[in-house]
């Protein structure tokens, strides 16, 4: 790496202590430097457009727009920017969603400093780096694919049951004492998680796979 053209790195994490530690880490390297930071997903997308980093270190579990959604937004708007997920969690579903959103790397926060530095360099060069636990999670996901609907929340399961009964969004909102906007949001999430094109297909999948009582 030519030190005259160091890698531009941006940090996204909702914990100031973590951001501070990563900033100190970057100061110790002469081939990369910090160009921006953000404490949540919405801010990450906005700051990314302002500072145009080469690589983003992205926490995944944040309030509001999480790291997966922020990664997807950044990759859609700024495809030249590479994202490395840096998280404390290695669940199969989270690993898959982060990579599907466009992350080029997935590391856990207990990663050694030299391994993190190399992952940033690899991301800048367009190469993937996965923590061993993340790679194992991907293998498990391929060899033991999860049951359809496994990622539905309890509320989404309740909404799906009402969809099966033929209720519309207004009726679902009234039955569950939630706003119509919230009901519509839950229905949208259900369609996405079931990969259903519409409500009718979601209902058919729910019945076929016995997703509701």
pLDDT tens digits, one per residue of 63-113: 889 999 999 999 999 999 999 999 998 777 888 889 999 999 999 999 999
pLDDT value for 142: 63
How far from 191 is each of 138, 157, 160, CA to CA, in Å? 24, 12, 10
Contacts of 61 (CB under 8 A, 6+ apart): 67, 87, 88, 89
Quick count: other Cβ atoms within 10 Å of Cβ 144? 8
pLDDT value for 23: 95
157-204 pLDDT, tens per residue? 999 999 999 999 999 999 999 999 999 999 999 999 999 999 999 999
> Has this prediction a pTM greater than 0.75?
no
**CA trace torsion 17, 18, 22, 25 (10° rounding):** 60
29-61 pLDDT, tens per residue? 999 999 999 999 999 999 999 999 999 999 999
| Domains of the chain, first to last | 7-143 (3.40.50.2300), 154-208 (1.10.10.10)
Helical axes 154-164 vs 169-176, angle rounded to 10°: 130
pLDDT value for 111: 93
How far from 197 is each of 26, 126, 188, 190, 193, CA to CA, in Å? 45, 33, 10, 10, 11
Helix (H) or strand (E) holding 108: strand 105-108
Q: What mean pLDDT is reported for the chain?
A: 92
Coil/strand/helix, residue 145: coil
């Amino acid at each position: 790496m030519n030190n005259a053209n160091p890698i531009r790195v941006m940090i996204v994490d909702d914990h100031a202590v973590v951001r501070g530690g990563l900033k100190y880490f970057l100061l110790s390297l002469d081939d990369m430097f910090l160009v921006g930071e953000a404490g949540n997903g919405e801010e990450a997308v906005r700051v990314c457009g302002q500072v145009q980093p080469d690589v983003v270190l992205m926490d995944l579990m944040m309030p509001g727009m999480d790291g997966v959604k922020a990664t997807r937004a950044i990759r859609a708007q700024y495809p030249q920017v590479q994202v490395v997920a840096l998280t404390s969690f290695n669940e199969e579903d989270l690993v898959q969603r982060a990579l599907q959103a466009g992350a080029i790397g997935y590391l856990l926060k207990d990663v050694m400093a030299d391994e993190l530095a190399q992952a940033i360099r690899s991301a800048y060069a367009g190469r993937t780096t996965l923590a061993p636990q993340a790679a194992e999670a991907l293998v498990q996901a391929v060899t033991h694919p999860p049951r359809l609907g496994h990622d539905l929340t309890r509320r989404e399961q309740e909404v799906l049951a009402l969809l099966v009964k033929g209720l519309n969004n207004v009726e679902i909102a009234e039955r569950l004492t939630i706003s119509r906007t919230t009901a519509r949001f839950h229905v949208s999430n259900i369609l996405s998680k079931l990969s259903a094109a519409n409500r009718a297909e979601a209902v058919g999948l729910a019945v076929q796979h016995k997703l509701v009582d």
